[in-house]
Amino acid sequence: MDNQEILKQYISQTLLNGRMQVEADDDLLGEEIIDSMGVMQLVAFVEDRFSCDVPQSDITITNFRTIKAIDVYLAKRSL
């Protein structure tokens, strides 16, 4: 499973409790699909699942707005 699929599955099934199926381009933050607490849970998941440390200064709309953006952020981190 690629990163985007892993994130889609976690957000849809765990964070949103199966209430909706998110897509890679959905605006997670602007459309308030996930709230402040959800973001912190998502960051903790990303750190754990992808074995990386996400500094607080990286938790911005640019890096976490969409699943694609998170994927790009992770790709940059692994360079």
* Residue (51 or 57) nearer to another protein, CB: 57
* Residue (6 or 39) nearer to another protein, CB: 39
* Residue (2 or 48) nearer to another protein, CB: 48
Q: 3-state DSSP call for residue 42?
A: helix
Residues in Cβ contact with 34 at an 8 Å cutoff, skipping those fewer than 6 apart: 11, 15, 16, 28, 42
Binding site for another protein (CB under 8 A): 14, 17, 29-30, 32, 36-41, 43-44, 47, 53, 56-62, 65
